[in-house]
Structure 1
Amino acid sequence: MSVIIATTLTPDPTTGPATAKTLDGHADFALVTDDFTGFDAIEYASWLGPLTGRLGIVPEVRTTHLEPFHLATASATLDFTARARAGLAVGISTTPAEADLFGRRDPAPANAAWAEAASVIDVIRRLWDSWDDDAIIRDRATDRYIDRDRLHYIETQLQDSTGSDYSVLGPSITPRPPQGHPPIIVRAEAGNEAARAAADVVLVDEAPGSISLEDLRTELDPGVPVLTVLPAPTTRAEVAELIGSVRILTGRGAAGVLLSASAENQLDFSVRLVSEILPALHAAGLRETPEAAAARHGGAEPSDLRTRLGLAPAVSLYADVDA
């Protein structure tokens, strides 16, 4: 058994890079949060990508006020800069304050915003796949950089969270990401069944009134990892309690946990994760050691995030077209 271990990472220029470097090679991925009060999550994640070598980098984005085409190209670029370690956490925005920051749309009701988000996930994947893996040919004899027959034209109609229609045209301006489809992560919330059904990984909060882990395991495909969101432990007693919680949660169907740390505590927590939590998980038989993981994968730990999360390689949505 090897549970997935992820953490939050607040885009703090003081502690963020040191936190990421401490987590590198230990946690599976860091979820770069975005509350619209500081650095843009994707831009910040693009800074962290080259600073790390094995840590998955997953920026959180709110599709309600952002352009799907820009999200697709920015996340594809991140997967290149992070060398196949990028993901994309998809969320929504519903508050007037956040709507005012963009000035494009009125505040959105949650159900409508999540309906749009589910459509955006599909469009992002289609834009990622709009370049075949071998589209770049660099043919000097014909002065062609790409083979246009290996690009796919897309025109998709969507409805935004306020009921207005808009279209997204492709192909993308960015080649297909190294992972094909960087893993898409969605938090389970009431009314977002379509979005979480489209996700590669689903996060669930154990707070009272939240969707239960058991319900999600019944609802989702068996191959979709579900991670339980828990507060990051700050004491040795809390570390011991966490190990027991992880054992119980995996028995209920969780694939791992996302440990949520505050911005003020994230660097200290990263040290605690490496020095206390992971050794305790190894000792409890809940997570394999890096050496065991390397042996299982033929001598080296997997470097791409999809493989680390137990996801199959991404097949292009246009594979049948090319066949």
Structure 2
Amino acid sequence: MTRTLHLAVALDGAGWHPAAWRHPAARPADVFTPGYWVDLVATAERAGIDFVTIEDSFSPHPRFGGAGAGAGAGDGGDRVTGRLDALLVASYLAPLTTRIGLVPAVSVTHTEPFHVATALQTLDFASEGRAGWRVQVSATPADAALFGRRVIEPIDLDAYRRGEVQTVIRDLFDEAGDVIEVVRRIWDSWEDDAIIRDVGSGRFLDGSKVHYPDFEGRFFSVKGASITPRSPQGQPPVTALAHATIPYELAAEHADIVYITPQSPEHLAEILAEVRDAERRLRPEGWPALLVYADLLVLLEGNAEDAVAALSALDDLAGAPLASDALVVAGTPTALAERLLDGQRRGLDGFRLRPARLPVDLDAIAREVVPLLEAAGVRDVIGVGGEVGADGGAATLREVLGFERPASRYAGATADIAEDVAADPRSVSTGSGVRA
């Protein structure tokens, strides 16, 4: 049986090229409207895309864009500036979609684990089991200044390449690992059958099935438990973008999917070897294998020459060649499909495609690339209503990705919260935590 090639699309503003908003097919007037996001995600859902990620940051414009030219160049004045909150966009989209996974980027650096956990649980309820999380580290001094609680020293790229800022980076990613661990514990803090709703006895909640995570770490301490019952997936999939050893280790130890950015087949082989080594060393026993996706920034036209010309035209508008952490692929849908199939043969589990221009490149992915993958036998042809889950309903995102639904880690344990709940049912709402 042919192995499934997983496919995700990363949505960001008017597209991943900083000049995409100036393309004739772009909708810059609609970028901050709900209908714009509904249209994009509906296109991906009809095509059978597994999930969309929704970008976010504390900065007003994309990190990887290259400086523009002319008035406002370099300060975001020549590109889409401003964002909607990714998690709130996903929550808006949840009841308006039926099958596609919704994976917002949510920072771990300046946000509290308890708030992250309950917000993502709520998204999982709103989407009936289609929520995921793209973990994001916010590492700039400007981001830290927005909150005023800590100072982060600038990370110079050249110094990073010389290995001179590894301690700063290690601290940020160690903190991220603790946040993910706490979030996962909070997600498990209610057992699946904690809510009993026994009208006769007047018992809504079985307090013995609600648990304190009681996490004490270097960066914060969190008592728990969640204010939100265990959500449909139990553990929504956790995903992370990684470019180097420390982020690879974070993903191997804590995530379900890692997005990597290979620049060549040889580079891909090096990254896969490093990621799998980190997985062998760090992944908790009993966890499913880490899924590895490659990110590609794609611009698609009917022939290769037109694609190159279209990219060059956008570069001219931006005043500089497109700069990206991911490999930029300008070509035809057929060539892209062949590249994806080759990546699968080389050991990748999937791809996350970043459309250079929205909606035009997303339309090409949906209309042309996905059918080519279906014809190759690596994607199921998914009709209206989507895949069927284990319970006979629509498949959860975990099921689409091939993951089983895990039991709560606290199931069967004696709950120290039970006596508190018996004395005061409101005490279950205790997300207290202290960040160092």
1:194-251 deviation per Cα after TM superposition (whole angstroms, max 9, x unaligned)? 4212111111111377861343234436722111101123213421221121122111
- Displacement of 1:299 in angstroms is 12
Give the CA deviation at 1:297.
Answer: 7.1
Trace 1:188-203 onto structure 2 (pairs within 5 A).
Answer: 188-190=242-244, 191-197=246-252, 198-203=254-259
The number of residue pairs the alignment matches comes to 315
Structure 1 stretches lacking a partner, 5+ long: 161-165
CA RMSD, 1 decimal: 2.6
Which residue does the alignment assign to 1:279?
371
Among 107, 116, 120, the alignment partner of 1:75 is: 120
Structure number with the bigger relative contact order (C-alpha 8 A, sep ≥ 6) is 2
Question: Percent same amino acid among aligned pairs?
Answer: 36
The question of 1:152 aligning with 2:221 is answered no
Task: Provide runs of 4+ in structure 1 moved above 4 Å.
Answer: 208-211, 293-302
Deviation at 1:302, TM superposition (A): 5.3
Does the 8 Å CA contact 1:227/1:255 hold for their aligned counterparts?
yes
Cα distance in 2 between the residues matched to 1:301 and 1:82: 13
Q: 1:105 to 1:206 in 2, by over 3 A?
A: same
Distance 1:252 1:233, change over 3 A: same
User: 1:145-294 to 2 correspondence within 5 Å?
Assistant: 145-160=204-219, 166-190=220-244, 191-197=246-252, 198-207=254-263, 212-220=271-279, 223-237=289-303, 238=331, 239-262=333-356, 265-290=357-382
User: Highest CA radius of gyration, 1 or 2?
Assistant: 2
Distance 2:108 2:389 in 1: 36
CA distance in 2, matches of 1:137, 1:236: 58
What is the alpha-carbon distance in structure 2 between the residues aligned to residue 2 and residue 34 of structure 1? 29
Contact 2:134 2:240 in 1 (8 A): yes
Alpha-carbon distance change, 122 to 295 in structure 1, aligned in 2, over 3 angstroms: closer
Inter-CA distance 299–285: structure 2 relative to 1 (3 Å threshold)? farther
Match of 2:40 in 1: 19
C-alpha distance 312-299 of structure 1, shift in aligned 2 (>3 A): closer
Alignment of 1:80-159 (within 5 A): 80-107=125-152, 109-159=168-218
Q: How far is 1:71 from its partner?
A: 0.3
* Matching residue's letter, 1:233: L
TM-score, normalised with respect to structure 2: 0.67
What SS does the corresponding residue of 1:196 show, helix, strand or coil?
A: helix
**Residue type of the partner of 1:124?**
V
Q: After TM superposition, give the deviation of residue 114 of structure 1 in Å.
A: 0.6
Q: Helix, strand or coil: the match of 1:170? A: coil
Taking a change above 3 Å as real, the CA distance of residues 123 and 229 of structure 1, as seen in their structure-2 partners, is same
Question: Aligned partner of 1:282: which letter?
Answer: E
Change (3 A) 1:298 1:93: closer
**Amino acid aligned to 1:134:** D
Q: Does 1:306 align with 2:398?
A: yes
Partner Cα separation in structure 2 for residue 243 and residue 273 of structure 1: 9
**How much has 1:296 moved relative to structure 2?**
9.2
In 1: Cα distance, 2:414 partner to 2:354 partner: 43
- TM-score, scaled to structure 1: 0.89
Give the aligned partner of residue 28 of structure 1.
50
- Verify the 8 A CA contact 2:99 2:386 in the aligned structure 1: no
State which drifts further: 206-215 or 271-280.
206-215
